[in-house]
A and B are shown apart, each in its own frame.
Chain A
Amino acid sequence: MSEEKEITIQNYLEYVNSKKLMGSKCKKCSATYVPPRKLCTKCNSTDLEWVEMSGMGKLAAYSCIGVGTSFMVDKGYSMKKPYCFSVIELDEGPMISGQLIGVDESKPESISIGTQVKLSFIETELTGETRVDLGFEPI
């Protein structure tokens, strides 16, 4: 982890592409941000550093989506085969959005808020490159 790397969205996305979930932590007040912020909006400090997340968290909110985004439709998801969009509360405090996998998306009632989850990056092969997205699965 390079401490000289500027805290920018691009750098965060590059970390995700190399399968690392990074945030920033305020050295003054300990507030943690995922995705990372350069300016701490709790205490107004700019003394923040990169931190790596453990990848552990719990499910805060979710929806099994049948009418999806064009990217998800292209991946084969549909009303017959929904995917699960989720908001995860990481153990470190911040929340982040990701796809919940390893669940039965056709039975949303089988998914429970509060379920412990762990990070599980999702790779999609596109022409000439691999796209990496945040995924989470129940422990």
Chain B
Amino acid sequence: MGKLARKVGIIGAGMSKFGRHFPIKRNPDLWVDAWLDAIKRVDNGIEPKDVDACYVGNYSSDLFNHQGHLGPQMANLVGLSPKPAPRMEGACASSGVAFRQAILAIASGAHDVIVVCGVECMNEVSTTLVTDTLATASDNLFEYPAGATFPGLYAAIASAHFNKYGTTHDDLKRIAIKNHENGKENPYAQMQRSIQDLMARKVSKLESEGKDLPDWKDEMDYLNSSSNPMIASPLRLFDCSLVTDGASCVFLAAEDVAKNFTDTPIWISGTGQGSAALSLHDREDLMSFIAAKEAARQAYDMAGLRPKDMQIAEVHDCFTIAELIALEDLGFYEKGKAAEAIRNGETKRDGSLPINTSGGLKSKGHPVGATGAAMAVEVFKQMRGIAERDRQVKFDVERALTHNLGGSGATCVVTIYEK
């Protein structure tokens, strides 16, 4: 138990641009864009006849788009009918779940090549309906009636973490600043502006309108101002990831078949998945996600590696507090100590442990079902040395990790990659 029966690797990966696309693009459009983008990165090319199954991760096309049964639809669009096309759900970890299931299916010998599709189109419905749809990832009977919203649940987690460990909102601001700096270097990201860029834009707009100029000293000051309103204390606008439309695509192949497509697959050396009580109030610890710790334990054990062996990681920053807690749950820093590492700049892309070089969910965007597979896309690029613009880390990445959390932490998928 706890081992893959045969080795599985990524032979190509890509994504659509993440952003506010509806109605110009819908799920089918975004998925085909992602497939076409991913094919470009399969060294020897790949055709539908090479692919044995299409595993789809999507949270709620049913509620966002009034469209269920997405699996066969996505498969058909890329020429994969009549092959198997299941859809998997785990809230914001939906494509992480699909990705893991595809790995296990290939490792079992049932299939040789699987394409993983992550897709979500959220902007088809109003903001109120987006909020209500996202709330279905929380406990509808016992959290929702108490007024819980997604920012509210993570904010409550933050209140407990602040109280116990002395974490401050400034620690969270640093995460937002970092992720925007990284997102600026990602042509696929929804927001490609650093916080500084946003400040400069605001200033020049006020100047052209002949209005009084703000007196922000720096980014921290800006993030303390009315430009960063409180959504759910202590979380403000810039602590929250975006409402996004987008799709991601990853091609996975068994070891003996992978060499037909590339000489340098990125190997999956560990995969893990964990679960937890759906509601915060049913959990033992409000400041840590046992689903993440369990997923990480399985992945580290399978890979025979430890936290200190990881060189970069993409983690689930649906809210800035989630990135901070991920660093602790994954064993990168001791409980209560991640804030200090962030203060020291260790998680910046030129730091000792670059986190979310893609820009994270904060800046790249969070099309719920597409996020998990998109994390694998970033790791693939960083390990191949092909991350665009200036966000490629300067050292050779041999071992990386992705952490994809669902809902308020009731599902988590962790994957470890090696060259």
What is A's interface to B at a CB cutoff of 8 Å? 9, 13, 35, 60-73, 77, 79, 82-83, 85-88, 94-99, 108, 113-114, 133-134
Contact of A95 (CB < 8 Å), options: B139, B147, B281: B281
A70 vs B155: C-alpha distance in the bound complex, in angstroms? Answer: 19
Chain A residues whose C-beta falls within 8 Å of the C-beta of B282 in the assembled complex: 95
**Known contacts A65-B151, A67-B231: does B146 contact A85 (CB below 8 Å)?**
yes
- Which residues on A sit within 8 Å (CB–CB) of B147? 65, 68-69, 71-72, 77, 83, 85, 99
**Which among A66, A94, A133 is the interface contact of B231 at CB below 8 angstroms?**
A66
Nearest Cβ distance between residue A38 and chain B, in whole angstroms? 15
Chain B 313-337, CB-CB to A under 8 Å as 1, else 0, gives: 0000000000000000000000000
Chain B residue with the shortest CB-CB distance to A97: B146
- Across the two chains, which residue of chain A brings its CB closest to B162? A113
B233 at the interface (CB under 8 A from A): yes
Residue B157 interfacial (CB < 8 Å): yes
Q: How many residues of B contact A (CB 8 A)?
A: 37
Q: Which residues of B lie under 8 Å from residue A71 when comparing CB positions?
A: 145, 147
Q: Knowing A70-B128, A79-B229, say if A61 contacts B157 (CB, 8 Å).
A: yes
Q: What's the Cα separation between A20 and B281 when bound, in Å? A: 19
Residues of A within 8 A of B141 (CB): 9, 13, 35
The docked-state distance in angstroms from the alpha carbon of A13 to that of B145 is 12
Task: Give the CA-CA distance A68 to B135 in the complex, in Å.
Answer: 11
Q: List, in ascending order, chain B residues with CB within 8 A of A98's CB.
A: 146
Give the distance to chain A from B213, nearest Cβ to Cβ, in Å.
Answer: 25
State in angstroms the CA–CA spacing of A134 and B283 once bound together. Answer: 19
Set of chain A residues within 8 Å of B143, measured between Cβ atoms: 97
The answer to whether residues A69 and B135 also contact, given A63-B235, A87-B280, A99-B146 and a CB cut-off of 8 A, is: yes
* C-alpha gap A69/B235 in the complex (Å): 16
Interface pair A65/B280, CB less than 8 Å apart: no
Whether B160 sits at the interface, judged by CB under 8 Å, is yes
A25 to chain B, nearest CB (A): 16
Digitize B265-280: 1 where CB-to-A-CB distance is under 8 Å, 0 elsewhere. 0000000000000011
Verify if B286 is at the interface (C-beta below 8 Å from A).
yes
Q: Once the chains bind, are B159 and A67 in contact (CB under 8 Å)?
A: no
Asked if A87 and B149 sit within 8 Å, CB to CB, the answer is no
Instruction: Give the complex CA separation of A71 and B132 in angstroms.
Output: 10
Q: Does B345 contact A (CB under 8 A)?
A: no
Q: Which residues of B contact A134 (CB under 8 A)?
A: 146
**Contact call B159/A65, Cβ cutoff below 8 A:** no
Q: Which residues of the partner chain A approach B155 to less than 8 Å between Cβ atoms?
A: 63, 65
- Cβ contact within 8 Å between A67 and B148: no
Task: Check if A97 sits within 8 Å of B281, measured CB to CB.
Answer: yes
How far apart are the CA atoms of A71 and B232 in the complex, in Å?
A: 16
B96 CB to nearest A CB, Å: 25
Query: Which of B139, B151, B234, B281: most chain A CB closer than 10 A?
Result: B281
Q: Is B206 an interface residue (CB 8 A)?
A: no
B-side contacts of A88, CB under 8 Å? 281
Q: How far is the CA of A69 from the CA of B279 in the complex (A)?
A: 17
- A95 CB contacts on chain B under 8 angstroms: 280-283
CA of A88 to CA of B142 in the docked complex: distance in angstroms? 13
A68's partner among B149, B158, B163 (CB-CB below 8 A) is: B149
Q: Is B22 an interface residue (CB 8 A)?
A: no
Q: Are B233 and A64 in contact (CB under 8 A)?
A: yes
- Note all chain B residues with C-beta closer than 8 A to A70: 128, 131-132
Task: Choose among B132, B232, B279, B280 the residue with the greatest number of A CB atoms under 10 Å from its CB.
Answer: B232
Cα–Cα, bound, A70→B128 (Å): 7
Please indicate the chain B residues that have their CB under 8 angstroms from the CB of A94 in the complex.
281
Does A133 contact B145, Cβ atoms closer than 8 Å?
A: yes
Scoring B residues 102 to 145 as 1 if CB is less than 8 Å from chain A, else 0, what string do you get?
00000000000000000000000000100110010001011111
Q: Is there a chain A Cβ closer than 8 Å to B354's Cβ? A: no
Q: Which residues of A contact B230 (CB under 8 A)?
A: 64, 66, 79, 82
In the bound complex, residues from chain B placing their C-beta under 8 Å from that of A62 are 156, 159
